[in-house]
Homo-oligomer: A and B are copies of this chain.
Amino acid sequence: MNRERQVLARIERVRRRKPVVREELITLAHGAGGKATHTLIEAVFLEAFRNPLLEPLGDGALLAPAAERMAFTTDSFVVSPLFFPGGDIGDLAVNGTVNDLAMCGARPAHLSAGFILEEGFPVADLRRITASMAAAAEAAGVTIVTGDTKVVQRGKADGCYITTSGVGYVEQPVTLSAAGVRPGDAVIVSGSIGDHGAAVMLARDDYGIEASVASDTAPLHDIVAELLKALPEQVRTLRDATRGGVATVLNEVASASETAIVLREDAVPVRPEVTGICELLGLDPLYVACEGRFVAVVDGAHADQALDVLRGHPLGAGAAIIGSVAADPQGLVLLRTSFGGTRVVDVLVGDPLPRIC
C-alpha cells in the first residue's frame, strides 16, 4: 500500500508540472487526444491564446450573444509557403475570418481555430504561427475561444492547414446585400490591389523574381465600422477581394444585382512592383488576391464622402473610386481601358495561383 501511494504521488507530481512540449517535431501522438495532445494544447495553444472563454478547454465555448443579429463565417487556409513577406498563415487565418465578419457589417468577436498538422512539422514553426495568430487576434479585438488539433501522417498534408471560424455581432442598423446594388452607385476599392498574391508568389522559390512586395494582410473591421457609421444607409455591399481578386468579387455583385459594373482601368490602384510581377507572370492584377483590401459599392451621390472616410483611416490611404454601376449589360463587368477600348472582365477561369490563402 505504501508503494502504491508512492506511485500515485509520483504520477501526481508529473501531472502537476507545467506542461512542456519536449519534441521538436509534431508526432501522430500530438493528435491522438491523449497526453501529448494535452501538452501541445496547454504549452502552445493556450499559452498563445489564453483568455477566460478558452481556458476551460471544454468541448466548446459559452458565449453571451451581444446583439440581435450575429454573423457566422468560416475559412480554411492552405497558403504555401506558410511564411511570406508581410505575414504568415497564422495572421492570414485570423484576419481572413475577421474580414469576412466585417464584410457582413459585424463587429468580430470570437474565433475558433482548427489545426491539421503534418507529422514531422517543426514545433518551433507552430509556435511562430500561434504567436502571429495571437498578435493578429489582439490587434483585431477578438478572442480565440475554442479549437481542435488533428495530426496526419507525413505526406498527407503540407505542414500546417488552419480553419478559422468566427462569430461577430451586427450592432449598426445596416442592410448589406449585393442584390441591393443599383445603377448610379459607385465602386470603391480601399487600397492598391494584388499585393498579397504577388508577395506569396514571390515567396515561392519557383520564380526567381526579386522585388519588394509584402502581403497586405490586415483586419478590416475598424475601417469598415467607420464607413458604416458615416454612411449607414448608403453602403450597398462590402466584399473583401481575396481569391479571384477584385474581378471575381465584382462579377458576383453584378450577377446578384443584375446590373453592369463599369471599371476605369486607369483608376484601379496597382503598385508598380505588382504590375511588374503580374506582367512577368502573365497575370491580370484584377484577378490577384488581396487580404487587406475590400470593395465597397456605395450610393453614387455619397461616393466622395465614402472616399474621404476611407482615406482618413491608415488602411484606406490608397482608396480610390474605380468605377460605377450601370443598368446594362446586366450581370457583366466591363473595363474601359486606358486606350479607350472596352473589354469584358469575366469570372476567373482555371487557377493561375494555387494556394494563395
Chain B hits for A91, CB < 8 A: none
Please report A residues at the B interface, Cβ cutoff 8 Å.
7-8, 11-12, 15, 27-29, 31-38, 56, 58-65, 67-78, 99-101, 103-104, 106, 110, 112-116, 145-153, 155-158, 161, 163, 165-168, 170, 177-178, 239-240, 242-244, 248, 255, 287, 289, 329-332, 344, 346-355
Specify how many copies of this chain sit in the oligomer: 2
The docked-state distance in angstroms from the alpha carbon of A112 to that of B65 is: 18
Contact A74–B344 (Cβ < 8 Å):
no
Contact B33–A61 (Cβ < 8 Å):
no
Chain B hits for A150, CB < 8 A: 76-78, 161, 355
* Smallest CB gap from A153: residue in B: B354
Contact B72–A63 (Cβ < 8 Å):
yes
Contact B347–A34 (Cβ < 8 Å):
yes
Contact A346–B11 (Cβ < 8 Å):
yes
Contact A147–B63 (Cβ < 8 Å):
no
Contact A76–B350 (Cβ < 8 Å):
no
Which residue from B29, B73, B177 sits with its C-beta under 8 Å from A350?
Answer: B29
Minimum distance in angstroms from A50 CB to a CB of chain B: 17
Chain B hits for A145, CB < 8 A: 72
Contact B69–A64 (Cβ < 8 Å):
yes
Chain B hits for A15, CB < 8 A: 255, 331
Which residue from B8, B147, B255 sits with its C-beta under 8 Å from A329?
Answer: B8
